[in-house]
Amino acid sequence: MTYRERLAVPASWWVVGMFFALTFVTAVGFYSGPWVAVWAGALTAAAVAAALVWYGRLLVVVDEVGLHAGRAVLEWPYLGEVVVHDRAATRRRLGPDANPAAWLLVRGFVPGSVEVAVADRSDPHPYWLVSSRRAAQLAAAIGESRPISPTGEGSSAPARLPQ
């Protein structure tokens, strides 16, 4: 495996989530008493933690098979050109410059992304847009991990940075 990144939620989300649990505990405790508040607090904190862990569970991996984004896999023969996007370019690719047929693995709290062209004519998605905190490293890992074809050339175009 040459690259691995977990798209975990930021610490600020944990602070907000636990603050929500605390306010819920305060309201329940005021109304129902301290023992109910303790149980409600434990259950609420567990539910908030489970939700945050679940939402931040997605992995982006580059390995011998290809690019894994969540549960989806784009195998090496179908990986085309790779473009690194910063926050502004990612917003444009999700908004006015978006293709509605694109495949997205996007987390709003992750500023950068990598756009990978799909080199498979039968695939309905022209490209994948994958969030990454280390977009340049992800693009480099894709470029370095491409298998060499029998003619000695890489399977597709290398990564490029945005204009």
For 47, the domain range is: 7-55
For residue 51, what are the contacts with CB-CB under 8 A and spacing of at least 6? 17
Q: What is the mean pLDDT of each run of 10 residues along the chain (163 residues)?
A: 92 95 88 88 93 96 96 96 96 95 96 96 96 97 82 49 48
What token pair was written down for 23?
């306010």
| Residues 136, 161 contacting (CB under 8 angstroms) | yes
Task: Count other C-beta atoms under 10 Å from residue 9's C-beta.
Answer: 19
Same structural domain for residues 49 and 77?
no
Same structural domain for residues 46 and 63?
no
Q: What is the pLDDT of residue 149?
A: 61
Same structural domain for residues 128 and 97?
yes
Same structural domain for residues 69 and 129?
yes
User: Position of tokens 């309201």?
Assistant: 27
Q: What is the pLDDT of residue 43?
A: 93
Q: What is the pLDDT of residue 163?
A: 45
Q: What is the pLDDT of residue 158?
A: 47
Examine the fold and report which residue of 55, 77, 92 is the final residue of a domain before the chain moves on. Answer: 55
Same structural domain for residues 148 and 83?
yes
pTM comes to: 0.81
The whole-angstrom separation of Cα 136 and Cα 111 is 12
> Is 73 within the bounds of a domain?
yes
The total number of structural domains in the chain stands at 2
CA distance readout (Å), 29 to 39, 61, 129: 10, 45, 45
| Residues 120, 78 contacting (CB under 8 angstroms) | yes
> Is 1 within the bounds of a domain?
no
